Structure 1
Amino acid sequence: MAISLAPAALERVQGFLAATPGALGLRFGVKRTGCSGWSYVVDLARDERPGDVVSEYAGVRIFIDADSLPMVDGTEIDFHKQGLNEQFLFRNPNVAGECGCGSSFTTDADKAA
């Protein structure tokens, strides 16, 4: 499993972790939603859940549920600020298509189903 954090995302996540006592790391996964099928879920991990796969990148522990792992494996998470707007961006090699607004995606496995 390989989830990586671009320098800006790493700095942002480290800041969140430093400001949140008890946080164990970053929780990253997907949920079914949107017009294309899947949307990213990013939060601070406050516990380790049964079935979590845990990896580490530059000292940040990343918790991924087993169901999400095939859809996010290989993703690089980045963070961009432009004016007043801030957002995490995802470079996911598993994405086969995205909706027009960019909030959800499909994978090749979805197309085959």
Structure 2
Amino acid sequence: MIVWGYRTKLFQLVLATFLCGRCGRPAAHAVLKRVTKFTLFFLPLFPISVKYLTQCTHCGAQNRITREQADQVVAQQQGHPQPPQAHSQPQVPQQQAAPQQPYRGQ
């Protein structure tokens, strides 16, 4: 009998302050790396997928980002700005605040 499956681990790269698109607050966001590995007899062998995301520490909203964006945020937080690349990518993940609805108290 062969036992196989997969295992996912999260690694926190840095904490950075962004404007959250869900709660609309400037809050700390954890930049995370999610790695899923194939396992055989409960031993992780090789990665199946690697994804990068940000998670708001205030409301818990998660947004996927590219590896390049994650690398840029990590470099900025560590004080090592990267030179601009040939194609234009945002320096940090852009998150838009949700439109504010007027309060209509009862």
Query: TM-score, normalised to structure 1's length?
Result: 0.27
Q: Which has the higher contact order (CA 8 A, sep 6+)?
A: 1
Larger radius of gyration: 2
Q: Select the structure that is richer in helix.
A: 1
Query: TM-score, normalised to structure 2's length?
Result: 0.28
